[in-house]
Amino acid sequence: MEDIELNDYVIEAIYFLESTDEFVRASEKENLANISKKTYWPIMHDMYERSYEYVCGSLSLFIIEQLQSCEASCRTAIEGAVNLHYVSLEDSLGKIISYFKNHFEVELKQNISWKSTVDISNVDESIKNHY
C-alpha cells in the first residue's frame, strides 16, 4: 500500500476538527451541572457525537482517496450539523419533537411506498411475504 501524503489543508482540517471537539468537550464538562438538567440535553449530545463521527468518517475517506464515498459521507455530516444547529436554537425541546415527528412521518410514507411496490411486483408470493 502506498503512503498517503497529508497536505497542509488536510492537516489543518484535522486540527480544526480536533480542537473544536476539545472545546466542546471542555465546555460540556464545565457546564454539565446546568445542561444535564435540560430534558433535551442527551438527545443533542447524541446528535453532536454522531455529527463528529460523520466528519471523522468523511475526513478519513478523503485521506484514503475514496472520493465518491467521501462525498456521500460529507452530505450526511452537513445534514447532521444543520439539524444539530436547528434544534439548538430557542425552543430546543419543541424542535427536537418536531424533528422526530417529521422523521417518523417520512419513514412511514417510505414504508407504505415500499410495501405498495412489493405488493404490485411480479415476484413469488413467498418473497413478497418475506419483505
What does the block give as the cell for 9? Answer: 489543508
Q: Position of cell 489543508?
A: 9
Identify the domain containing residue 127 by its residue range. Answer: 91-131
Same domain, 50 and 81: yes
pTM: 0.76
Q: How far apart, in whole angstroms, are the C-alpha atoms of residue 110 and residue 95? A: 22
Query: Same domain for 11 and 47?
Result: yes
pLDDT tens string for the chain (131 positions)?
Answer: 445 567 888 899 999 999 999 999 999 999 999 999 998 999 999 999 999 999 999 999 999 989 999 999 999 999 999 999 999 998 999 999 998 899 899 999 999 999 898 888 888 888 877 77
Residues 57 and 97 in one domain: no
Compute the distance between CA of residue 45 and CA of residue 40 in angstroms, rounded to an integer: 9
82's grid cell: 444543520
Is the same domain home to 83 and 47? yes
